[in-house]
Structure 1
């Protein structure tokens, strides 16, 4: 008998047990605010078969259990999350909820993909006559991908020339 799979669009606090089949679209380590050598948590962007996306967090106390087994672009079945309202947190997805891993969270790699991986969302409504100029930038931040590769991230401020 096949297990019921939930969709990200349905996630909320009215139900206590969610079973997702998702691709990990993006994974990164967030460093401790006062110690850049200490990882505070691992952040994930998950996408289901319908294209719904949600952010998930693996706290430091769960690294040994989940941190090394999850890879970007891998397909997983995950269940037993804590659903958190993230209105006060920066949003990386449009969903108002975030998922936190706990002692009860189960993650299993799915080796036979049930749906295609579509990590990028290209928009077809971009106007071709818009020209912008970079008018500001933040200092580059050192970050480490979940696979341990050092990289940098920099935010740019752009302005329409009109």
Structure 2
């Protein structure tokens, strides 16, 4: 008989502890190169509830993980750092983000209950009223662009 810790949800991740176990899908993965620094990897993870969190894989761990992490695949992840999401521009609205460390482990595992994607639409009234995060890149950037287009249209006509 095997006793295993249950999976935690992304919405519950915070900096109060170091031992986390999550089941996630990588919904987006990209590489960042800011010369003269070496490249690092960024990802968006989503759990079975559709909650998302941004992940950074720093340059020291980049080579270890880049071949093992594939967009749209599901994984079990253990032992990573959870830090405040203090980035200038955020890819998720989660208050925290994850960072891989030396003790991080991942395992390929099929989780059909984790959706391929989840869309988060803004209400048109919220866009017109300016009720959106200006530092959120995914979706909100489009909303801001749409907001400016609507205002321009209303001023011209």
Tell me whether the two structures share a fold, i.e. TM-score over 0.5.
yes
Aligned residue number for residue 118 of structure 1? 116
**Bigger proportion of residues as helix:** 2
Say if 2:31 is the partner of 1:29.
Answer: yes
In structure 1, runs of 5+ residues without a counterpart are: 131-154
Does structure 2 conserve the Cα–Cα contact (< 8 Å) formed by 1:26 and 1:45?
Answer: yes
Aligned residue pairs total: 132
Whole-Å Cα distance in 2 between the matches of residues 31 and 5 of structure 1?
A: 33
Distance 1:32 1:124, change over 3 A: closer
Whole-Å Cα distance in 2 between the matches of residues 27 and 47 of structure 1?
A: 12
Does structure 1 conserve the Cα–Cα contact (< 8 Å) formed by 2:24 and 2:114?
Answer: no
* Other structure's SS at 2:149 match: strand
Does structure 2 conserve the Cα–Cα contact (< 8 Å) formed by 1:66 and 1:107?
Answer: no
* Other structure's SS at 2:64 match: helix
In structure 2, runs of 5+ residues without a counterpart are: 129-141
* Other structure's SS at 1:159 match: helix
Structure 1 residue 116 displacement after superposition: 3.7
Does structure 1 conserve the Cα–Cα contact (< 8 Å) formed by 2:47 and 2:114?
Answer: no
* Other structure's SS at 2:50 match: coil
RMSD of aligned Cα (Å): 2.3
Q: Deviations over 1:113-132 (max 9, x none)?
A: 241423140538457xx9xx
Structure 1 residue 79 displacement after superposition: 1.1
**Bigger proportion of residues as strand:** 1
Q: Deviations over 1:102-146 (max 9, x none)?
A: 000001111x3241423140538457xx9xxxxxxxxxxxxxxxx
Whole-Å Cα distance in 1 between the matches of residues 75 and 82 of structure 2?
A: 18
Say if 2:68 is the partner of 1:69.
Answer: yes
The ranges of structure 1 where at least 4 consecutive aligned residues each deviate by more than 3 angstroms after the TM superposition are 124-127, 155-158
Say if 2:22 is the partner of 1:20.
Answer: yes
Aligned residue number for residue 104 of structure 1? 103
Aligned residue number for residue 138 of structure 2? none
Aligned residue number for residue 44 of structure 1? 43
Superposition TM-score, scaled by structure 2 size: 0.74
